[in-house]
Amino acid sequence: MNSAAFVIIAIVTLTGALAAATLPKLIHAALCLVVAFVGLAAFFFLLGAEFVGLVQVFVYIGAVAVLIVFTILLTKRDADKPDKFNWGGVIVAIAVFGGLLWAILHTPSVAITAAQIPPLTIKQIGDVLMTNYVWPLQCVGLLLTAALIGALVLVMEEKQ
């Protein structure tokens, strides 16, 4: 695994995420979120899970980010006023990160490097989806249908 690529992708992802969390204007934050998602997709490619990376770009950037951007558009009245920043949340977030960091650094068994593995092909993922993971697949299908109908019902204008 390439260390130069790892460092660059890590910097891009963390900068994008930090910008998405702290920028005052909402639309800039949404677009920096897209940069963070691209960085994450690059991480997935680096880890050898190319299908997950492609699905991440397709679903998160092509669907979730577009949804967020459309919602910003439709709820535009408050978008220009920068809102109050709650510093208590910052302290909690830093505390949680500190706790996780302590836990990671004090676990010796995770200080390992990656072995060379045969690349995971999409055919293998398809085989596994249809044999071991058939139940989760159908449940996710039902869940997505329910979410689709639910979202439509929520935003439908009521007939007066």
Partner 1 sequence: MSDSIDQVFISAKQWLLSFLAGAPDWLMQIASSFLNIGAVLGVFLTLFALISVLERKILGRIQNRYGPNRVGPFGLFQPVADGIKMLIKEDIVPNRADKILHFLAPIMIAATAILALGIIPYGRNMTPFAIDGGILFFFAVGSTTELGVFMAGWGSNNKFSMLGAMRAIAQMVSYELPLVITTLPVVMVVGALSPDAIVAAQTGYTFGFVPHWFVTTPWGAAAFLLFFVSGLVESNRTPFDVPEGESEIVAGHMTEYSGFKYANFFMAEYFGMFAISGLAVTLFLGGWQAPFAGLQFIPSYAWFFMKLAVLLFTFIWIRGTLPRSRVDQVMAFAWKFMLPMAFTCVIAAAVWHYQGRGLAGWFWSLVVVAIVYFGLSWFLDTGKKFATRTYRFAE
Partner 2 sequence: MTPTLQLFLIISAALFGIGLLAALSRRHAIFILIGIELMLAAANLNFVAFWRFGPEPQTPTGVMVAIFSIAIAAAEAAVGLALVIAVYRHYRTTNVDRFNQLKG
Positions in 85-144 near partner 2 (CB under 8 A):
85-90, 92-94, 96-97, 100-101, 104-105, 110-115, 117-118, 120, 124-125, 128-129, 133, 136, 140, 143-144
CB of 160 to partner 2, least distance (A): 14
Could you list the residues that contact partner 1 (CB under 8 A)? Answer: 27-28, 31, 34, 50-51, 54-55, 57-58, 61-63, 65-66, 69-70, 73, 119, 121-123
Helix (H, G, I), strand (E, B) or coil at 2: coil
Restricted to residues 27-46, the positions that interact with partner 2 (CB under 8 A) are 29-30, 33, 36-37, 40, 43-44, 46
Query: In terms of Cα–Cα distance, which of 24, 46, 59, 19 is closest to 35?
Result: 19
Burial of 147 (0-12, 13-18, 19+ CB in 10 A): exposed
Distance from first CA to last CA of the chain, Å, rounded? 61
The conformation of residue 1, written as its DSSP 8-state character, comes to: -
Which CB atom, from 11 or from 66, has the smaller least distance to partner 1? 66
Query: In terms of Cα–Cα distance, which of 16, 13, 62 is closest to 41?
Result: 13
Restricted to residues 50-89, the positions that interact with partner 2 (CB under 8 A) are 51-52, 55-56, 59-60, 63-64, 67-68, 70-72, 74-75, 77-78, 83-89
